[in-house]
Structure 1
Amino acid sequence: MTLLDVRGLTVRTDDGRTLVDDLSFTVDGGERLGLIGESGSGKSLTMLAVLGLLPAGMTATGSVELAGTQIVGTPEKRLVAVRGRDAAVVFQEPLTALDPLMRVGRQIAEPLARRTGLKGKSLRTAVIEALLRVRLPEPERISRAFPHEISGGQRQRVALAMALACEPRLLIADEPTTALDVSVQAEILELLDTLVREREMAVLFVSHDLAVIAKVTDHALVMKDGRAVEQGPVLDVIGAPQAAYTKTLVAGARKLESALVLRSTR
């Protein structure tokens, strides 16, 4: 069953520039789709348009239907109910995504309370369970901490806990490991992969990293200059690319991998 249906999505600035151009794709329940492209390709704007979160000065046209709700043109008041319940997002930099003036536990508790009606001890227990679910040690201590008092990897786990707390049907991840060191990246990706599989959750994963997309998604859509240039099963797109741009991306990734292997043997 189709969970996210994007048809003819176009994003333009108020001065007439087209940043995403006539983009169409679907995500079924439980499916994991990767948006691939270099910086400026329009993949992050697509993610924001899906949530109705485009910045001021940009307008979306076309159709974005999420769990039966039309996102394009729908008033913000109605979209608030969709976010968290039908879709949730994990952003690239958790230090800016989290409120620096609010303790971690409260940041998880507020959306949980709105969606579930939990209060008092029951709400507190749910917050601790959310932190344990993302394998954070000392959840009581971390719940009392401010974001700057915990590490980058811990902050990203908190962001993931917040996104998953209300059991959304679609998780949107925008370069969620780019700001982390390599070892922490691997841990977060493995955790994300495990959690979404356990919940049979759909995923829209935005990344420029082909290796990451191959690891955590089933299908891939390659974007360039706001347009889709190729899409299909991820192993086909990466293993036997058809579009010239995709071939260039894959060749570049393989060249980098070979250089790293060569350097490690010196």
Structure 2
Amino acid sequence: MTLLDVRGLTVRTDEGRTLVDDLSFTVGGGERLGLIGESGSGKSLTTLAVLGLLPAGMTATGSVELAGTQIVGAPEKRLTAVRGRDAAVVFQEPLTALDPLMRVGRQIAGPLGRRTGLRGAALRAAVVEALEQVRLPEPARVARAFPHEISGGQRQRVALAMALACAPALLIADEPTTALDVSVQAEILALLDTLVREREMAVLFVSHDLAVVAQVTDRALVLKDGRAVEEGPVLDVVGAPRAAYTRSLVAGARTLQAALDLRSSR
């Protein structure tokens, strides 16, 4: 079953500059698709368009159908109903995604209460359970904390808990581990993999890191200057790329990894 169907998606600025150009792809139920590309390739704009979250000064055309709902041109009320229920997003830097003036528990409780109708003690218990599910130690304490009072890795787990609390069919992860150190990144990716498998969710995973995409996705779509240049099973795209641009990304990643391996062996 197709969960997300994107056809001819084009994103332009009010000045007429094209940032995403005639992009088409699908994500099936339970499937994991990776969007690969350098900064400025249109990856993040694509995910924002999928949720109807493009910033002011940008307009989307084409078709984005999410769980049977047309996103392009939809009124805000309809988009609000889709977000959280059908799709949720985890952004790159949770410190900016989270409200710095609101305790963690309240930030999870807001959308969770609206979706489930829970109130009072039942809602507070559900918030703690959501934090437990992302393997946060002392979840009750974390729920009482402000975002600046917990670590970067804990903030990203909180962001993941917020995204998963309403059991969306599609999780959009936009560079969710880029701001974390290597060891914490590995923990978050392993946690994400486990939770997605347990819940049989679909994933749209955005990253410039080919190794990460190969680790967590089934299929890859490579973007350059807002256009698709290659698509296929992720191991084929990374292991035997057809497009020159993809080959340059793979070569760069291999060169970097070789340098890191050499340094670590000294």
Is this a same-fold pair by TM over 0.5?
A: yes
CA RMSD of aligned residues (A): 0.5
CA deviation string 1:78-137 (max 9, x = no partner) = 100000000000000000000011100010111010000011111111001000000000
1:223 maps to what in 2?
223
Q: 1:74 corresponds to which letter in structure 2?
A: A
CA deviation string 1:15-47 (max 9, x = no partner) = 000000000000000000000000000000000
1:125 matched to 2:125? The reply is: yes
Which sections of structure 2, spanning at least 5 residues, go unmatched? Answer: none
1:262 CA displacement: 1.4
1:103 matched to 2:99? The reply is: no
1:258 CA displacement: 0.9
1:180 maps to what in 2?
180
* TM-score (normalizing by structure 1): 0.99
2:11 maps to what in 1?
11
- 2: CA distance, partners of 1:262 / 1:141: 42
Q: 2:177 corresponds to which letter in structure 1?
A: T
- 1: CA distance, partners of 2:113 / 2:230: 41
Which sections of structure 1, spanning at least 5 residues, go unmatched? Answer: none
1:261 CA displacement: 1.1
CA deviation string 1:30-78 (max 9, x = no partner) = 0000000000000000000000000000000000000000000001121
1:29 maps to what in 2?
29
1:263 CA displacement: 1.5
1:264 CA displacement: 1.6
Q: 1:61 corresponds to which letter in structure 2?
A: T
1:5 CA displacement: 0.0
Q: 2:111 corresponds to which letter in structure 1?
A: P
1:265 CA displacement: 1.8
1:255 maps to what in 2?
255
2:238 maps to what in 1?
238
1:142 maps to what in 2?
142
1:247 CA displacement: 0.4
Percent identity, aligned pairs only, is: 87
2:72 maps to what in 1?
72
SS in structure 2 of the partner of residue 48 of structure 1: helix
1:259 CA displacement: 1.1
- 2: CA distance, partners of 1:263 / 1:149: 34
- 2: CA distance, partners of 1:175 / 1:127: 25
* TM-score (normalizing by structure 2): 0.99
SS in structure 1 of the partner of residue 26 of structure 2: strand
SS in structure 1 of the partner of residue 5 of structure 2: strand
- 1: CA distance, partners of 2:177 / 2:200: 21
2:53 maps to what in 1?
53
- 1: CA distance, partners of 2:263 / 2:153: 27
